[in-house]
A and B are shown apart, each in its own frame.
Chain A
Amino acid sequence: MNKVRVKEFLGKLIFGGAALFCAASVIAIFAFLVFKGFPAFQKIGVWEFVFGDVWSPSRYDTYDAPLSGYYGIFTMIVGTIAATAGALLIGGILGYFTAVFLTFFCPKKLQGLFASVIHLLAGIPSVVYGFFGISFLLPLLSLVSPNNGSGLLAASLILGIMILPTVTALSQSALESVPQSYYDASSALGCSHAETVFRIMIPAARSGITASLILGVGRALGETMAIVMVAGNSPTYPKGLFHSFRVLTANIVMEMGYAGEVHEGALVATGVVLLFFVFLINLLFLLRSSKAIREKNKKTSVRKPIVRQALLPHTPTLGRLLSVLSAAFCSTILLLLLGFILFRGLPPLLSRRYLLFGKYEFGGAQITLLPSLIATLMAVLLSLGIAIPLGVMTAVFLHEYTKKNSLAVRLIRSAIDTLAGVPSIVYGLFGVVAFLPLFGGSSSVLAGSLTVSLMLLPTVVRTTEESLAAVPDGLREGSLALGAGKVRTILRLVLPSALSGIFSAVILSIGRVIGESAPFLWTMGSVMTAIPRSYLDSGTTLSVALYQLAGEGWHIEEAYATAVILILLVLSLNLSARAVIGHLKRKSTKGKEARSR
């Protein structure tokens, strides 16, 4: 019997250890940011740093000598707020109306199609959006603008399209959770479908819709690469729609590679300011969604005066029209983006075999993506190899071992939730200040993978926890009642039943590693010419390669080809995820179907 005791103890130790590690890594991230940022705040002065509007760093500034550069980020704070507001205006409104269309006006046959449009829009990597911005949007805008088209308008458009899927998905679930009885009651009074939708259903889902907008703002704040590619990035105020400006995330990603002592501190401090905004938004989201939950539970919720609802700016007919137009716009954007990039990228990809399988020639015109492909694969393998086991074990500990409301668990869980809201560039920052010194100060595939595995953790933990919660308690009780221990119950019954959830965590993670570029840029390096021989070599993932190719401007056809590869990867991941998850679901419900037959 002792053997079983030991096994149970070991199980608890390992699962608990994983959870503790997650919590510790959150603390480490914040400790590093404070530790590295604090001296800069002290040296520059908080007021001068936040409200100064000249940014002209000198890489020779040290903490011991007087400063020769200027470190004020107020222009970028204003830029960030302006770009976010613009994104909200475009993506928020479009996303909201698209959700209304999908929930209430979409013909049944087309629902699947539009759902995949939204899924795909969500899955396209941000560098591809940025590249689409450079290659399609900017030339178009330059027809009417005094400059090359970059600036607030382009940034808002691209960001807006990027937050649209988030807003749509969350608004849609808010709308779908409005009780059907409301609809029936309104119809029974003789109201038309559109009247019911706009006068009853949407006002009832208002809290949830607001929450979705807030989450969209959170995404826009943290977005880096796409906005870097279209904003122009000079550290000035956004004085017009077509005026080069810079956001906080861009500041970090553009200068991290060559920063001196104080300069690096100032960039970390920029990250701290960015986090401050993100947490402010998350707090708002929490308040708002807990309000939504309260309203749902409380039968006697007090609504705002009816007059204000009547002032909602649309009559039902107009609203319906707008919702159809929004959905059409989403589909057009997707088709345009896919069509444009495939049209430009497929021919070079197909006609030049050396692009995929060739050898790099220094100084020559030939470029091959083989090193990037291999580096991407290495990064996927290592970061998933770390994040998936760690995340799954943490989720098991949180869900299977702990009492739901104990203080330790609440702390670990809120630590993980906090991690989920941190923008990817901040992970990159952490990777540079924490991991690079470990490996002699130079970037490597290893450092990049470690950085990104931290970024993956919260998603893995959450997705796994959700699927564990969906496993019926009857199974656990049945197994325990037979005298099986906890470890056996978890390994033999609970985890196999939660497989589809874990699998979707894997797919989501692969997608993120392939799509993310900001956290890789300075941790993994920018060597796209040589195949990394080991994890200690530098390398570029495909996304970073696209960023570099697009930025150089020398190899524009190769850039298109890279974008095509990225899109095809995302598409095939999306399809395979659906196929496999569908298969697993069918497998687990097969019994039920057989019985009903």
Chain B
Amino acid sequence: MKAREIPHFGQSIRVRHADLWYGAFHALKDICIDLPSRTLTAFIGPSGCGKSTLLKCFNRMNDMVEKCRVSGEFLIDGVSIYGKIDVNALRKSVGMVFQKPNPFPMSIYDNIAYGPRTFGVRKRAELDAIVEDSLRRAAIWDEVADRLNRSALGLSGGQQQRICIARALAVKPSILLMDEPTAALDPISTEKIEELCLELRKTTTIVTVTHNLGQAARISDKTAFFLSGELVECGDTKQLFSAPRDERTRRYITGKFG
């Protein structure tokens, strides 16, 4: 069976005057931000500042939240993603990795093949190729190659998270969203994931939310600082960490509040 024709979304994100409410709570206030193609952008800021909320707007995972209301423009390569589009196709193009590793309760192989199968890939040889390629790109092939048929739940937390990354890569996303991908992991696993991000950036636009300022400084091209629903400052990572324009950014990165 031939894979179905699915509209593909591009790689650059542009947000104009975005507001978001959870019921009466104004969670995002007039956000304007540009995330160019094939860059790695880090969202930083104290808990509850809206960075994860903004992230989830890019693949419309906020749709599931009750009483959530969004306004403003969200464009991917000029296409409005809150317009008349196929949400599932959007999510195929815009992959996501969650804070807590969430492998499905099935074998490693089936975890990776879940996405391609969803979109109509049935041939074993084709699936085999996708699974191996995705696992290699997620830098975990060597660790699991001999036990692809074992349950993914038996892996360590760091391995599980890389399985989830491989799972996201298997549908060939052009953008990858990461919601605190290393928050639940130990330092060694964290390092592996950071290296992986640097590698993936060459082909994919990556947006990552992190509480780890060191991590933002190490891996990102651009950094955006959020505070109580507002985008305070967004710029090149080096510039933002060495010479922040805003006093609030300076106080946050020097550990004065947050």
Contacts and interface: CB of A to CB of B under 8 A. Distances in A.
Interface of A: 1, 3-4, 403-404, 472, 474-475, 477-485, 488, 492-493, 496-497, 588, 590-592, 594-595
Contacts of A595: 153-156
Contact of B115 (A474, A482, A493, A592): A482
A83 B6 CA distance: 68
Which of A1, A475, A480, A482 neighbours the largest number of chain B CB atoms within 10 Å of its CB? Answer: A482
B212 to A, nearest CB: 21
Given A1-B6, A493-B104, A497-B105, A482 B151 contact: no
A483 B98 contact: no
A310 B4 CA distance: 74
A479 B153 CA distance: 16
Interface string B90-117: 1111011010101111000000001100
A401 to B, nearest CB: 11
A291 B168 CA distance: 47
A488 B118 CA distance: 8
Nearest to A471: B105
Given A493-B104, A497-B105, A591-B154, A479 B114 contact: yes
Which of B89, B92, B105 neighbours the largest number of chain A CB atoms within 10 Å of its CB? Answer: B105
A472 B154 CA distance: 17
A390 to B, nearest CB: 26
Given A483-B88, A483-B118, A478 B61 contact: no
A326 to B, nearest CB: 42
Contacts of B61: 477, 480-481
A477 B177 CA distance: 13
Nearest to A478: B102
Contacts of B105: 475, 493, 496-497, 588, 591
A478 B151 contact: no
Contacts of A479: 104, 114
B171 A483 contact: yes
Given A1-B6, A591-B153, A594-B154, A483 B89 contact: yes
B195 interface: no
Given A404-B66, A591-B151, A482 B92 contact: yes
Nearest to A8: B88
B119 interface: yes
A-B pairs, 8 with minimum CB distance = A591-B153, A483-B92, A474-B102, A481-B96, A483-B91, A594-B154, A482-B115, A591-B154
Given A474-B102, A484-B115, A484-B118, 7 more contacts: A474-B100, A477-B98, A478-B104, A481-B61, A483-B91, A483-B119, A497-B105
A66 to B, nearest CB: 61
